[in-house]
Structure 1
């Protein structure tokens, strides 16, 4: 299977497959997966309407570069695959990809801490450095039920705007990036911010929020610290972690 798929795609697509499979396994490694019920999608290089998505029913820690399924904007298979896909699960992703040319990768989770904060009326609070990074580029989208309705798409992309982070009320978290590394690192910070808030609120003591002007200046500082918004500098180390703890994603 591995050799067959690799022979049918470009080197650029194969590298994307390896990185996307790694992102799936890292989501599982950090405990943000929800059995098989969320997705990470990525636009195939040098295309407008070709995307990679997980084989439906495969747990995130099982995903490999070869098992990823190539689909069009309507989640129809482009490259023959023995694995099923979930068109309903691609609803949110297809909307974001269509609206945001820069959103080459879209990562969505139902993590417990993320859903917990999404259910709080005030949303994410400026309680941590991680939160300040997120708040510099965060949108909110109200819950409209399970995301199967095509009519919801314009409202969702309008709420995302040009932000990196989107909190789906009562539902979960979403990040976008130029590649799987950027989308994953953004989600790492998003999830950390939510986890800190859950723990801080559970402490039952008076909280000390970050000043608004500091939050406002955080986005530019993040670009410097992370060498180009989130991904590049940490990704090689994360791949080494996977090679030690869950190898085989690159097959």
Structure 2
């Protein structure tokens, strides 16, 4: 198969797998379409990964990733690829996998017990803020909700080298919003909707900062106010839905456009 000869048929079907895996596949495929709808795409690059439920994997750390070579708008439940932390394909998928995807994502899925989902983007605002010496500053409504929630990891080049994984994990610690310096944004979470809520807030904070800085000097949010905002922001908290309501609303929007992600 050359890079121009992608498989015509879907490699897996719902009837052939555990219903918990199929449900995870549909949720992840819907998220890829949401990213496409929001313009969070980078040609065929970047990744959203989701752990395969333990009821399917038997406790092994397996995860689902997009087929390399497909645009997010082409991702479906059946063409997602199931791999292990070494990037080995586990479901006989004919699609290739981007090494830059599984190296970083596998390190997080393997190294952080609660990292059920990992998302990475190269949005203009996200990369722009990642290139600033001071990164994301405490100057707007959204950055205030992320007070003491953001980790930074220095740029080490294209993420295809496994030895970067331990350094990434050390820099992340327990913070779920990550700015990859000179590179982009990353978020991880206990659930896919929670991860999305964190990433959306981080990206929105970057968008507002980019717009603000283009007009001049920004007015900082006082430290005590930012601490209170971060504490009072309930959208990441599992006791308050952790982004599920927002994610469901966006899935409904995608469904009105195209339901082929469920195939």
Q: Same fold (TM over 0.5)?
A: yes
1:45 to 40, 53, 57: 53
Matched residue, 1:196: 208
Q: Residues 187 and 229 from structure 1, CA distance in 2 versus in 1: closer, same or farther, beyond 3 angstroms? A: farther
> Does the 8 Å CA contact 1:222/1:230 hold for their aligned counterparts?
no
Superposed, 1:87-106 pairs within 5 Å as 87-106=99-118
> Does the 8 Å CA contact 1:124/1:135 hold for their aligned counterparts?
no
Which deviates the most, 105-114 or 81-90? 81-90
Which deviates the most, 211-220 or 131-140? 211-220
> Does the 8 Å CA contact 2:197/2:243 hold for their aligned counterparts?
yes
Q: Kindly indicate whether residue 251 of structure 2 is the aligned counterpart of residue 239 of structure 1.
A: yes
Matched residue, 2:225: 214
Q: Kindly indicate whether residue 32 of structure 2 is the aligned counterpart of residue 21 of structure 1.
A: no
> Does the 8 Å CA contact 1:136/1:215 hold for their aligned counterparts?
no
Paired with 1:114 and 1:93, the residues of 2 have a C-alpha distance of 18
Measured against aligned partners, the alpha-carbon deviations of 1:29-54 in whole angstroms (never above 9, x if no partner) come to 11111111111111100133211000
Partner of 2:146, secondary structure, is helix
Matched residue, 2:197: 185
Matched residue, 1:76: 88
Matched residue, 2:44: 36
Matched residue, 2:17: 9
Superposed, 1:142-181 pairs within 5 Å as 142-181=154-193
1:134 is displaced (CA, Å) by 2.3
Q: Residues 220 and 8 from structure 1, CA distance in 2 versus in 1: closer, same or farther, beyond 3 angstroms? A: farther
Paired with 2:157 and 2:202, the residues of 1 have a C-alpha distance of 23
> Does the 8 Å CA contact 1:91/1:148 hold for their aligned counterparts?
yes
1:83 is displaced (CA, Å) by 1.6
Runs of 4+ in 1 over 6 A off after TM superposition: none
Paired with 1:158 and 1:174, the residues of 2 have a C-alpha distance of 15
Q: Kindly indicate whether residue 139 of structure 2 is the aligned counterpart of residue 127 of structure 1.
A: yes
1:160 is displaced (CA, Å) by 0.8
